[in-house]
Structures are given as C-alpha cells and as structure tokens.
Structure 1
Amino acid sequence: MKKILILMLMAASFAAHADSFVKGADVGWLPQMEATGYKFRNAQGKEEDCLQILKDLGINTIRLRTWVNPSDDSASGHNSKDETVAMAVRAQKMGMRVMLNFHYSDSWADPQQQRKPAAWANHDFPQLLKDVYSYTYDVMQAMKQAGVTPEWVQVGNETRTGMIYPEGHTDNWPQLAQLINQGYDAIKAVSPASKVVLHLDRGHDNKWFRTWFDNAKAHGARYDVIGLSYYPYWLDGRPDYTLSINDLAANMNDMAARYGKEVMVVEVGGEDSQPQNTYDMLMAVQQKVRAVPDHKGLGVIYWEPQGARSWSHYELSAWGADGRPTKAMEAFRAR
C-alpha cells in the first residue's frame, strides 16, 4: 500500500508539472487585426474568436506587450496600457494565464532599437529611474484593478544590449541594473506573486547569455526567470533548427544551473510556408524545455502565431492565407 501511495503521489506531481507547462502565444497584433476586420477561422473553416481557436489548440498562456505612448499605426502602433489591460482581461476570462511585456518605448524594442519614450527624451538619469518605476507601477495597478494578476512580467524586451538608450545600454551596466531594479520593485510592489523575467534574443548563444547574466549578477539586477528568444530562421544563415536546437538546450540547462533560475522560451517562430518543419521545431523546443533539470523549464511561447502574412507581411506566423492555423500549431496539443 505504501509503495502504491508513493507512486500515486509521484504521478500527481508529474501531472501537476505537465499541466503547468506554458504553451503560449504572443498576440499583441490581435486587437488591430480585429479592428481592421480580419476574420479568424478554426481548422474546420468556421469563423471563430481567435483566442478560442488558440485555446482549442492547447494554448494556455497569452503574452502581451505594452508601449508607453504608441501611435495608431496598424503594424507598429496600439498596445497602450488600456488596450493591453483589456486584452489581459479577455484572456483571463478564457482561463488563460497572462505574461506582460514592458518594452519601455513607444514602439518596438529589440536589439536593433531601444528608443526611450518621447515623453522621457529630455529626462536625466535620476528622472528616468522614476519614470520606469511610475510607469511600471501604473500599468500593474491598472491590471490589478481590472482583476488580472500577470503570472510573469518582463522588464524590457530582448535586452541583449540593454534598454532605454543611451542611459541603459550594456556599456553602462551600473545604470542598466538600476533601471531593471526600478521595474522589478514596481512590479513586486503591486503584485508580489508575479515572476519578473529578463529576456535576451539568440537563445542558442551561451557565451552571450553568460556574459550578460554574469554582469546582471555582478551589478545586483533582480529577477526571477530567464527568458530566451529562439528563431532558427534568423540565425546566421542556419535556418535548419537541427543545427542549433542542442545549443538552445545546453544554454537553458546552463542558465538554470549557473544562476539557479527558471527558464522559458518566451519567443519562438518558424516559416509559415514550412508548417511541417515548424511543427517539428516546436515539438523539439518543447521537449528541450521540459528536459531542463529540476522542472526549471517553464514553457514555450510562439510570437504572433495568428499574425497571418496576408495581414502583417510577417513570414514567421503560424496562420495560413485561408484564415486558419497551420499544422504547426498542432504541436501545442501534444503532451
């Protein structure tokens, strides 16, 4: 009887971990897609709410970005506080978890561009610290008032060379760490249970990750989770994921062991014209994340799977010209 009880407890523990594994979609484009009249269809061709389609495909987490004072541009605008909160409420009502991604910009922030918001352009560094705290606190408070507790919150997006240039560039780690900690402190002040994520691109590049997170540690940057982007399509002329997937796995394992942190692939994508290959890649990425020791691999989030090329001109969605998800998304149904 004792042996059976132990086995039952082990099975329950495994099931709980499996159920908590993040299968996510970043859908920042969704509000403007809907506003422009784009029609989403399920696998049977029936028009349906995009979030419902994603949920039926196994998606349990929605990632949303927020920009400070965005424009109304259809591709590079929207994602204001109010719009992001509304999307978070909608996702939560469907039983999905929420990840919130602070870009600290009025538009895209990534390794090519980390422009500070126009309203902060002439502020000195002490004021920028206050800006980051007050803006982060304000958005988090709006989420709380709407009844949403984001499970994960990113401070910055793909911050390989820092954020809020030039003050927060990695050329000046003492200042970058202070900016990160203002975001961290504001998040925890409103939502202590939310886990703070620091996120870099090129998730296969262990040397760069070690350099960055060694600096983060040395300068006292506070965070809970290491986020990685993984886009084989963009990797130095090596679009075949089989050439880099083991490097991704080794890097995640090293990050978890070296810094004692959980890891998550917070952005991934493959060619919409190669759905079988993208399916295979997603299966491999999920397997590698699940294999991170001590259950420190949290999950995988596809970036804009619904962002069909016919609307966005983005080649790495997982949606077809017929308005339906491609086979690639079936990878999230798998255990």
Structure 2
Amino acid sequence: MMNLKRHFHFLMASVLLISCSNNTPAPAEPTPVTPVTSTFAKGADISWITEMEAKGIKFYNAAGTQMEGMALMKSLGMNTIRLRVWVNPSPSYNDKADVVAKAIRAKNLGMRIMIDFHYSDNWADPGKQTKPAAWANMDLAGLKTAITNHTTDVLNELKKNNVTPEWVQVGNETNDGMLWPTGRASTNMSGFAQMINAGYDAVKAVFPQAKVIVHLANGYDNSLFRWMFDGLKSNGAKYDVIGMSLYPTWANSTWQVANQNCLNNMNDMVSRYGKEVMIVEIGMPWDQATECQAFIKDIITKTKSVSSSKGLGVLYWEPQAYNNWVGYTLGAFDNTGKPTVALNSFAD
C-alpha cells in the first residue's frame, strides 16, 4: 500500500481557498514558555500551517474562539511538532526559511520538534522519491555530499536560531529507499544505506543528541520492515529510531486489526534490532471523528506498551487541514475550523 499523500500532491495547484470574516480578531502572539518534560511524544505534523495562514485560513477551539494553530495543538494535549523539509520547492513553503520560522514558533511554545527531510523538491513517499532538480544528474558520491550539505545547512540555521530538534528523519516513507533510481533499496540497498549514513553523520555533527529516524509507511506490514531493516543492518546503516506511518484507510482491514499488527511490528523491531520505535504519522477521515478518537487512544496505549519502554510517541499528520484543503480528507478538524472529538485522545 502507498501512502495517501501521493494521491493528492497533484491537487496542490488547484487549492480551494477558504474565505473567512475580516472582522475576526487576529490571534495573540504566543508567550515563550519552558519546554515540556514529558517523555512520551504526542503531537502533529502541521507543516501546511504557514501556507494555510497565507490563504486566510483560521483555526478555532471547540468553543469557537480563534487561536494560533500551534497554540491550539498544545491546548489539545500535544507536546510535539513535526516539520517537513523540501530542498528547492516552488512555492517556497517547506524550504529552509519556512521550516525555521515554524520551528521558532514551536520552540517559543515549549514544544518538542521533529525535522523531516524529504530530500526532494516536493512530496517523497513510497511511490515517489524524486531527486531535487539541482541533484538530478548526481551519482551516489555526489548525492551523499548533497545530503550532507543540505542537512547541515538546515540544521545549522535552526541552531543559529536556538532551536534544537529532538528527532531528525533522514528520508520520508522510504519503503524502497530514496533519491531514485540511485538510492532505490530494492536495486541498491548499499547505496541507500550510504545515503542514510550521510544524513546520520550530518545530523550528529550539528546536534549530537538528536535521534535519527528511518521512516517507512505501513506500520502494520512486518514483512516490509524486516526486509528493509535487515537490508540496512547488513549494509552498516546507522540510525536510532524506526519511524512508522499508520493509516487504517490503506491497511485493507479495520483500524483495530491495523493497530494490533502495528503493535506486533513495533515489538518485533525492538526485539530484532534493539531500536526505539515511533508512530510519526497517523490519520483517519475527518468525518469519522468518534471512530478516530478510539483509534488514536488505542494506538497511543499500544505504543506506550511497547517492550522495554521503547515506544516513543504518536503524531497525527496535518490534523488542522479542513474543508477539503488541497483535497486532503484525513485531517481532524470539522468544516468550521474546529478540532473534532478525535483529538481529545491526545489530552488523555
């Protein structure tokens, strides 16, 4: 199964703009606070937020009061913000400057931060791992250097702004590697492992304490994860955490079965490789809010139960996307811009 994001990236050029009243007061600037100390990460990837704000989209709490989006996430019980990075995107959302601006906002709210390098100019997922245009003609050696330079550049800019990410993903949903065809794992596992190591070394050089994540989709698919991480192990790949996406919509099963299979897979990863695990993306249809609430509560409970306390956290993917934003329907806000009951499970 492929992650749903590749099914709608082509819709980005035809965004449905949402008009809001000009009389609504602007949300107050967040007050800097001390970072949270919770060890279990509960949060969201809200990388769309600056683009949504630029289109005039606003966010409201359950009472209908307008709030700044990240502060709203914190009020719902979240402590972590995940941000994707693209190399040379057009428009410039998710480039270095946009990511740093969002990361500063998250830091000022005391949120923990995960940086997600796609190593592409646009979406990277199981069905699409396209080299950035500027890297298109590079061989493996050139790509490793480019990974190093890009990773170092973005992380140094964060460091310059006193932002310290707790986790850094080296690649996004790399079910068959990244930077195709050079880093396609099914044909060049060694090359993919070398790319992972280039990213790992770059992360550790800037932020030695940051945990490096290798992220695959389909967290319920144990055979996929064994194939990939056996291959990476045999090729000397370095990483700290095994990241997973979990979308019951694509599991061909109920969410209960998907969650149980994911828990089995997480425990197997801990036992087989001795690594920590983390659910870095989840989502269900926004109009199945009650069912989604049960799904989130259950996968949080299951992740907390992972053997040796190696289940690090659960993050929702773009919950604030609403009213058919760029065709995405797996957010967790209703069409009035308020969170649904699905997100109540983050406060439990």
- TM-score (normalizing by structure 1): 0.91
CA distance, structure 1, for counterparts of residue 343 and residue 327 of structure 2: 19
CA distance, structure 1, for counterparts of residue 46 and residue 58 of structure 2: 15
1:122 equivalenced with 2:141 (yes/no) = no
Q: Residue in 1 aligned with 2:4? A: none
1:98 equivalenced with 2:113 (yes/no) = yes
Write out aligned runs for 1:177-326 (5 A): 177-236=193-252, 238=253, 240-326=254-340
SS at match of 1:25: strand
- 8 A Cα contact 1:309 1:317, kept in partner: no
Q: Residue in 2 aligned with 1:22? A: 41
Letter in 1 for 2:154: V
SS at match of 2:38: helix
2:72 aligned residue (40, 53, 57): 53
User: Percent of aligned pairs with the same residue?
Assistant: 49
CA distance, structure 1, for counterparts of residue 60 and residue 258 of structure 2: 33
- 8 A Cα contact 1:25 1:62, kept in partner: yes
Structure 1 vs Structure 2 CA RMSD: 1.2
Letter in 2 for 1:159: T
Please state how far the C-alpha of 1:180 moved relative to its aligned partner: 0.7
Letter in 2 for 1:99: M
Please state how far the C-alpha of 1:221 moved relative to its aligned partner: 0.6
Gaps of 5+ in 2: 1-36
Q: Residue in 2 aligned with 1:9? A: none
> Could you list the per-position Cα deviations for residues 175-231 of structure 1 after superposition, in whole angstroms to 9, with x for gaps in the alignment?
111111000000000000000000000100111101110001000010000000000
SS at match of 2:66: coil
CA distance, structure 1, for counterparts of residue 304 and residue 136 of structure 2: 42
CA distance, structure 1, for counterparts of residue 169 and residue 107 of structure 2: 18
CA distance, structure 2, for counterparts of residue 126 and residue 168 of structure 1: 11
SS at match of 1:244: helix
Please state how far the C-alpha of 1:39 moved relative to its aligned partner: 1.1
SS at match of 1:20: coil
Aligned residues: 312
CA distance, structure 1, for counterparts of residue 317 and residue 272 of structure 2: 27
- 8 A Cα contact 1:318 1:325, kept in partner: yes
> Could you list the per-position Cα deviations for residues 227-275 of structure 1 after superposition, in whole angstroms to 9, with x for gaps in the alignment?
0000001123x2x201222111100011011111110000000110110
Letter in 1 for 2:55: T
Write out aligned runs for 1:11-160 (5 A): 19-72=38-91, 78-160=93-175
Letter in 2 for 1:293: S
> Could you list the per-position Cα deviations for residues 82-106 of structure 1 after superposition, in whole angstroms to 9, with x for gaps in the alignment?
1001100100100000000000000
Letter in 1 for 2:85: T
CA distance, structure 2, for counterparts of residue 294 and residue 243 of structure 1: 23
Q: Residue in 2 aligned with 1:14? A: none
SS at match of 2:335: coil
More helix by share: 1
Gaps of 5+ in 1: 1-17
- 8 A Cα contact 1:318 1:328, kept in partner: yes
Letter in 2 for 1:319: F
Please state how far the C-alpha of 1:312 moved relative to its aligned partner: 3.0
Letter in 2 for 1:81: K
- 8 A Cα contact 1:26 1:303, kept in partner: yes
SS at match of 1:19: coil
Letter in 2 for 1:190: V
SS at match of 1:316: coil
- TM-score (normalizing by structure 2): 0.88
Letter in 1 for 2:88: N
Letter in 2 for 1:127: G
CA distance, structure 2, for counterparts of residue 174 and residue 53 of structure 1: 43
Please state how far the C-alpha of 1:124 moved relative to its aligned partner: 2.1
CA distance, structure 1, for counterparts of residue 88 and residue 134 of structure 2: 8
